[in-house]
């Protein structure tokens, strides 16, 4: 076999399981401008501000198909889970394509709707704020099973069924060009179609500390950093908005990357 230098590089990188990231920078498909929003966690105020920044950014650039990708964790922790879901469902950015991924907090919300036994766990990591925002006084984590069941029933009647349908149909991953978008990350060494949903929603160290090439650059939230984390194999965009006030958006256009932030 005779290879040109660039073919040889891509052949070798293919052998190493590294996809195409040796001979050219990662790109999104031509004509698409992606705005990827990190973990919102009930901060409708920050989402409003960031959307204004996104609109202004898009207006100041050339013609392109504008796409906004939400990386999951819309609810819990911050005070306005209800309003965030209202914005996502009923007030999307006009003329933008909207993509929503499932986060582990949405998964827990759905689990609580179906079965109150997750309640003591969920209220300890932010579900109490979601219950409040839907008019339910959250039981203490130590409350009885009967109290959690009462809270579940009230929450189920206050939580609009179309919101539940929306959350139930969210997917765990989205691919564009050389990028993969997931809430938490992927388990290194396993093809995307064999990843477990639990890993896509929950994984931390095994993914964050991996130096492996994943074939695509993985854009994710879930694990908080002060500033976006840009590595060769992943970009983390969860800047802990619910507490820091900094909601981050990664903008991808061609091979270009830039950030907007509240």
Question: Whose Cβ is closer to Mn ion: residue 83's or residue 222's?
Answer: 222
Measured from the CB of residue 201, what is the shortest distance to Mn ion in angstroms?
A: 7
Binding mask 59-78 for Mn ion (x = CB under 5 A): --------------x-----
Question: How many residues sit close enough to Mn ion to count as binding (CB under 5 A)?
Answer: 4
Binding mask 97-136 for Mn ion (x = CB under 5 A): ------xx--------------------------------
Q: Is 51 in the site for Mn ion (CB under 5 A)?
A: no
Question: Whose Cβ is closer to Mn ion: residue 13's or residue 223's?
Answer: 223
Considering only residues 183-202, where is the footprint of Mn ion by CB under 5 A?
A: none
Residue 51's φ and ψ, nearest 5 degrees, are -60, -40
Question: Whose Cβ is closer to Mn ion: residue 73's or residue 80's?
Answer: 73
Measured from the CB of residue 41, what is the shortest distance to Mn ion in angstroms?
A: 8
Measured from the CB of residue 75, what is the shortest distance to Mn ion in angstroms?
A: 11
Measured from the CB of residue 233, what is the shortest distance to Mn ion in angstroms?
A: 19
CA-to-CA dists, residue 177 to 18, 54, 57, 132, angstroms: 15, 21, 22, 40
The only residue of 174, 222, 234, 257 in contact with Mn ion, by rule CB under 5 A: 222
- How far is residue 155's CA from residue 164's CA, in Å, rounded to a whole number? 11
Measured from the CB of residue 189, what is the shortest distance to Mn ion in angstroms?
A: 22
Place of tokens 């929450």: 155
> Long-range contact list for 14-21, CB < 8 A, 24+ apart?
16/213, 17/213, 17/215, 18/213, 18/215, 19/178, 19/213, 19/214, 19/215, 19/216, 20/178, 21/178, 21/213, 21/217, 21/232
Residue 142, C-beta contacts closer than 8 angstroms, at least 6 positions apart: 120
Question: Whose Cβ is closer to Mn ion: residue 106's or residue 178's?
Answer: 106
Question: Whose Cβ is closer to Mn ion: residue 11's or residue 125's?
Answer: 125
Question: Whose Cβ is closer to Mn ion: residue 104's or residue 133's?
Answer: 104
Question: Whose Cβ is closer to Mn ion: residue 58's or residue 71's?
Answer: 71
- How far is residue 207's CA from residue 203's CA, in Å, rounded to a whole number? 7
Place of tokens 């976006």: 228
Tally of CA atoms within 13 A in the half-sphere of 198 that contains its CB:
0
Place of tokens 């009923």: 90
Measured from the CB of residue 31, what is the shortest distance to Mn ion in angstroms?
A: 31
Residues that bind Mn ion (CB under 5 A): 73, 103-104, 222
């Amino acid at each position: 076999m005779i290879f040109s230098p660039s073919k040889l590089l891509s052949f070798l990188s293919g052998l190493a399981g590294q996809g195409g990231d040796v001979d050219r920078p990662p790109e999104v498909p031509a004509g698409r401008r992606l705005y990827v929003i990190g973990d919102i966690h009930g901060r409708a105020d920050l989402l409003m501000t960031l959307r204004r920044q996104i609109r202004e950014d898009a207006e100041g650039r050339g013609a392109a198909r504008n796409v906004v990708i939400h990386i999951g964790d819309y609810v819990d922790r911050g005070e306005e889970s209800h309003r965030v879901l209202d914005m996502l469902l009923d007030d999307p950015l006009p003329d933008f394509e909207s993509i929503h991924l499932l986060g582990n907090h949405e998964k827990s919300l759905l689990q609580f709707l179906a079965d109150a036994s997750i309640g003591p766990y969920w209220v300890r990591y932010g579900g109490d704020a979601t219950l409040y925002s839907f008019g339910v006084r959250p039981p203490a984590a130590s409350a009885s099973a009967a109290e959690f069941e009462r809270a579940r029933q009230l929450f189920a009647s206050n939580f609009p069924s179309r919101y539940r349908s929306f959350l139930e149909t969210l997917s765990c991953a989205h691919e564009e060009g050389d990028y993969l978008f997931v809430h938490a990350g992927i388990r290194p060494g396993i093809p995307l179609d064999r990843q477990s949903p639990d890993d896509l929603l929950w994984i931390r160290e095994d993914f964050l500390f991996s130096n492996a090439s994943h074939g695509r650059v993985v854009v994710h939230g879930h694990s908080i950093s002060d500033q976006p984390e840009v590595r060769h194999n992943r970009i983390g965009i969860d800047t802990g908005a619910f507490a820091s006030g900094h909601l981050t958006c990664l903008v991808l256009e061609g091979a270009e990357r830039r950030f907007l932030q509240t």
